[in-house]
Each structure stands twice: as structure tokens, then as C-alpha cells.
Amino acid sequence: MRIHVPYMCRVIPAVLGTKPEPCKGLSAVPLNGDRILIIRKGSLPADSIWFLEVDSKYVRDQKKVLGTEVVAWSKGVIGVSEKPIVISGPSGVGKGTLISMLMKEFPSMFGFSVSHTTRAPRSMEQNGVHYHFTERSVMEKDIKDGKFLEYASVHGNLYGTSIEAVEAVADAGKRCILDIDVQGARSVRASSLDATFIFICPPSMEELEKRLRSRGTEAEEQVLKRLRNAEAEIEQGKSSCIFDHILYNDNLDECYKNLKKLLGLDGTTAPSHQQCKASLKSNGVDLQSDHTVSKADNKILITSGIPGSENASKNLSVLLLLS
Ligand SMILES: Nc1nc2c(ncn2[C@@H]2O[C@H](COP(=O)(O)OP(=O)(O)O)[C@@H](O)[C@H]2O)c(=O)[nH]1
Ligand SMILES: Nc1ncnc2c1ncn2[C@@H]1O[C@H](COP(=O)(O)OP(=O)(O)O)[C@@H](O)[C@H]1O
């Protein structure tokens, strides 16, 4: 079982009082920075593991918002969250159009990861909705400070996915969609974020140019740069092993139908909530009331039964902490 820190967690609005009672049956493992992993004994896997943030920026902000004393905030690992979806493809191929269609048809299911960029906003674009439009120096500092899951220089500007952007979608209980370039997709592939990777291809370079020009959002110099970059992007998208699926966006409705099909949204393969719950029960950690917890590097070892006894090794669960 893998636990991703800090994303893939959902915020449970459980505020502890100023003087929490000593809790029986809880194991606490201090992690990096201001996080503690809590494991509760003798409970269902779905309700047994969560993180506590102590005196983090989030906790301090909540103190202000709630106007009350808050000592910690819990971020629970509950249920099975669906894999995020990474969508890549050359500029003008129709990524944004397909993502908008998906979000419009399934508003409560998907959430868009709002990237940061140093490029100037287009006339219809809103800060915080389409992108977080950012100064290069600010973004570079945030990258240095480890706030980004991935970033890349694309068509002369910096683009990046902040950890907070992905976390915000997970916190809302939605499946995250990332619209990022091939370099970004490669970085996410190499990260701990388990995602579904989809590459969108144009039917031809002529059609791509037509779409890019007819969108009318770029100056000629930018159009030419994007078309030049498109050839390499398509080659990498098709030949690398980054992507799980390649979709051709020739006829839009057809492509959208295929996208829904591979996401299991055409009514044939979508997993039900019950199925998710069942798979969690069979794959999750079966915590018994007598277990010990220890930490070694990025692993949390949970041993049920009496340590050192013959049965203990059979009941060893290892949680990998990947950040
Ligand atoms: N690596 C990375 N690429 C991004 C991110 N956000 C957007 N992009 C990519 O940057 C490229 C340019 O995006 P944009 O300027 O909005 O132009 P458009 O693709 O023509 O709409 C596209 O390939 C996007 O997929 C991000 O957070 N990270
Ligand atoms: N299958 C398609 N056929 C014709 N035009 C399309 C198709 N898909 C998208 N478009 C148009 O192409 C332009 C670029 O699409 P967009 O979604 O902005 O691309 P991207 O986000 O990949 O840069 C938009 O004007 C959009 O309406």
C-alpha cells in the first residue's frame, strides 16, 4: 500500500481542542517538517491512517479563519481516490476543449489542476481559474522552495503544477485533471503521483495550424514557435513510454467519446463506489488491536502480533511514504 504525502489526502474538518485527551490505541510517527502520521488500532483500514499537521501554515490560517485555538488539522487517507488524469498534446490540438467538455458534463467528478505560468493572460483568461499568472522571480523561488510537483519551460515561458493545486482538487473530493506538456508529463511519471497519461494528437500538421490560427490567441511569432515545437512534442508523445493512451482529435465528438470510454465514463466500466470500498478492504492494511509501529527511512513498518514471534512477520505491513 502506498501513501502519498502530501497530496492524495482529503481534508477532514476535524479540529482538535486545545487540550486533547490522551488517546488510547493511537500510534504516532513524526514525519518530515510539521506532519505526524497517526495510525489507529483495531479499526477499518479506511478509517485507520491519517496525517496530522501541527503548526503548519494551513493550521495557522485556520486559526485566523475560525477565530479559535487550533492545535492540529487532520488530513485523512479515506476511501480510494481515482487516479489523476494527465493530458498532454501540442498547442492547439484541443486539450482545453476536451477538458472543458469533461468538466461540463461531470462537474462533481473532475477538478482542474490550476497551473502557474509566467506567460501573460489571454483576454478571456481569469487569474486563479485558467492559470495562476505569476512573476518569473516568484515562481522560481517557489520552485526552489519545493512547492511544485513539476515544472517546465514551454514556448519560452515557465509552467508548473504546484502541490497545492493538486491537493485542492483532492480536498474537494474530485478526480484531478492536469493539462501539462510532455516534459511535465515525464516528470509526473517519474514522481510518486500515480496517474493516467493521455496524449492528444492532431490529425495532421495542417489541421493543427488551422486550429491554432483560428483560435486567434497568439501573435504570429508565437504561432510559429508553437508549430515548430509541436513536431518534437508529437514525436515524443507517440514514441516515449510516458503515455498510457494516444487519442486522435480529428472529429471532436468522436474524440470526446473515446476519451470518456477510456476513462470508463461510457457506462460500461466505471467502478462503483461499492466496488472501490470492497477493493480497499481487500487491499488495505488490516490493523489488529495489538500492533507495533516503527519508521525506517521512508517506510513505516506495522507489525501485528507479538514482535519477534513467528506470526509477526506474516502480519507485517509496509507503508511507503513518497513525497
Ligand atoms: N509542464 C507543464 N506544462 C504546462 C502546465 N500548464 C500548461 N502547460 C502546457 O503549456 C503549454 C502551453 O500552454 P498555453 O500557453 O496555455 O497554450 P495552449 O496549450 O495553446 O492552450 C501546453 O502544452 C500546456 O499543456 C504545467 O503546469 N506544467
Ligand atoms: N476536433 C476539432 N475540430 C476542429 N476544431 C477543434 C477541434 N478540437 C478543438 N478545436 C478548436 O481548436 C482550437 C484549439 O483548441 P484548444 O482546446 O484551445 O487547444 P489546446 O488546449 O490543446 O491548445 C479551439 O479554437 C477549438 O475550438
Q: Is the CB of 180 under 6 A from ligand 1?
A: yes
Tell which one of 98, 117, 151, 197 to mutate to probe ligand 1, the residue whose CB is within 8 A of the most ligand atoms.
117
Local confidence pLDDT in tens for the 323 residues of the chain: 333 333 333 344 444 433 444 455 677 777 766 777 777 666 555 556 667 777 777 778 777 877 777 777 766 554 456 899 999 999 999 999 999 999 999 999 999 999 999 999 999 999 999 999 999 999 999 999 999 999 999 999 999 999 899 988 887 778 999 999 999 999 999 987 889 999 999 999 999 999 999 999 999 999 999 999 999 999 999 988 999 999 999 999 999 999 999 998 987 654 443 333 333 333 444 555 566 777 776 677 777 665 555 555 556 666 666 54
- Which of helix, strand or coil describes residue 66? helix
Strand order in the sheet with 26-30: 10-15, 72-76, 49-54, 35-40, 26-30
Q: Is the CB of 187 under 6 A from ligand 1?
A: no
CA 137 to centroid of ligand 1, rounded, Å: 19
Question: Ligand 1, atom 23: nearest CA belongs to which residue?
Answer: 181
Environment class of 306 (CB within 10 Å of its CB; exposed 0-12, middle 13-18, buried 19+): exposed
Question: Ligand 1, atom 25: nearest CA belongs to which residue?
Answer: 180
Tell me the sheet residues that pair with 112. 177
- Report CA-CA distances (Å) from 84 to 31, 73, 191: 25, 24, 13
Q: What is the pLDDT of residue 104?
A: 95
User: In whole angstroms, what is the distance from residue 10 CA to residue 36 CA?
Assistant: 15
Q: Where in the chain is the domain with CATH 3.40.50.300?
A: 85-263
CB 295 within 8 A of CB 283: no
> Cell 489523476 belongs to which residue?
84
Pocket, ligand 2, Cβ cutoff 6 A: 89, 91-97, 211, 214-215, 249, 252, 255
Q: Which of 159, 165, 113, 152 is nearest to 134 (CA)?
A: 159
Q: Is this prediction's ipTM beyond 0.85?
A: yes
pTM: 0.72
The set of residues, in sequence order, having a beta carbon less than 8 Å from that of 154 and lying 6+ positions away, is: 181, 183, 184, 229
Closest atom, ligand 1, to C-alpha of 179: 25
Q: What is the pLDDT of residue 34?
A: 72
Which residue type occupies 308? G
Closest atom, ligand 1, to C-alpha of 218: 20
CA 180 to centroid of ligand 1, rounded, Å: 5
Q: What is the pLDDT of residue 122?
A: 95
Tell which one of 97, 217, 226 to mutate to probe ligand 2, the residue whose CB is within 8 A of the most ligand atoms.
97
Q: What is the pLDDT of residue 294?
A: 75
Question: Ligand 1, atom 19: nearest CA belongs to which residue?
Answer: 91
- Which of helix, strand or coil describes residue 296? strand
Tell which one of 119, 207, 215 to mutate to probe ligand 2, the residue whose CB is within 8 A of the most ligand atoms.
215
Domain 85-263: give its CATH superfamily.
P-loop containing nucleotide triphosphate hydrolases (3.40.50.300)
Active site residues: 122, 215, 226
